[in-house]
Amino acid sequence: MILADTSVWIDQGQIAIRPFIIAELALRSLRERKRTLASLDLLPQAQVAQLSEVRQMIERRRMYGLGLGLVDAHLIASIFISSPMRLWTRDKQLREVAENLGIGAGLA
């Protein structure tokens, strides 16, 4: 299964999503807003890491100073606790970190 970042939005059976991604999309102006958000809510959900797990991961894997934000770190933590899962993103920095961690989907 693949966890898609906000920068990747497609309707495909192998895509999992997280509540943070749906919330980020909800902040945008969407066509057919109600239907779109309802459809996203139907996608399989990746497990959400606790903030303490995210913080431990940041320290353990030395992920500080890499230009990631909190949602990015949460996505990566979800991958590690929802194995087997890969991260698909068009965000260059996030993709590079995911690839270095061995969790990138290899898709651009």
Partnered with residue 4 across adjacent β-strands are: 88
Q: What is the pLDDT of residue 94?
A: 94
pTM of the model: 0.75
* CATH architecture classification, 2-100: 3-Layer(aba) Sandwich (3.40)
| Per-residue pLDDT of the chain in tens (108 residues, 90 and over written 9) | 666 666 665 545 577 888 888 998 899 999 899 998 998 898 888 889 999 999 999 999 999 999 999 989 999 999 998 878 888 888 999 999 999 999 998 765
Paired tokens of 52: 């303490």
Cα angle for residues 67, 90, 71 (degrees, 5° grid):
45
Listed as own residue / partner, the contacts of 6-11 with beta carbons closer than 8 Å and 24 or more positions apart are 6/71, 7/89, 7/90, 7/91, 8/88, 8/89, 8/90, 11/39
Q: How far is CA 108 from the centre of its chain?
A: 14
Paired tokens of 56: 């431990």
Length of the chain: 108
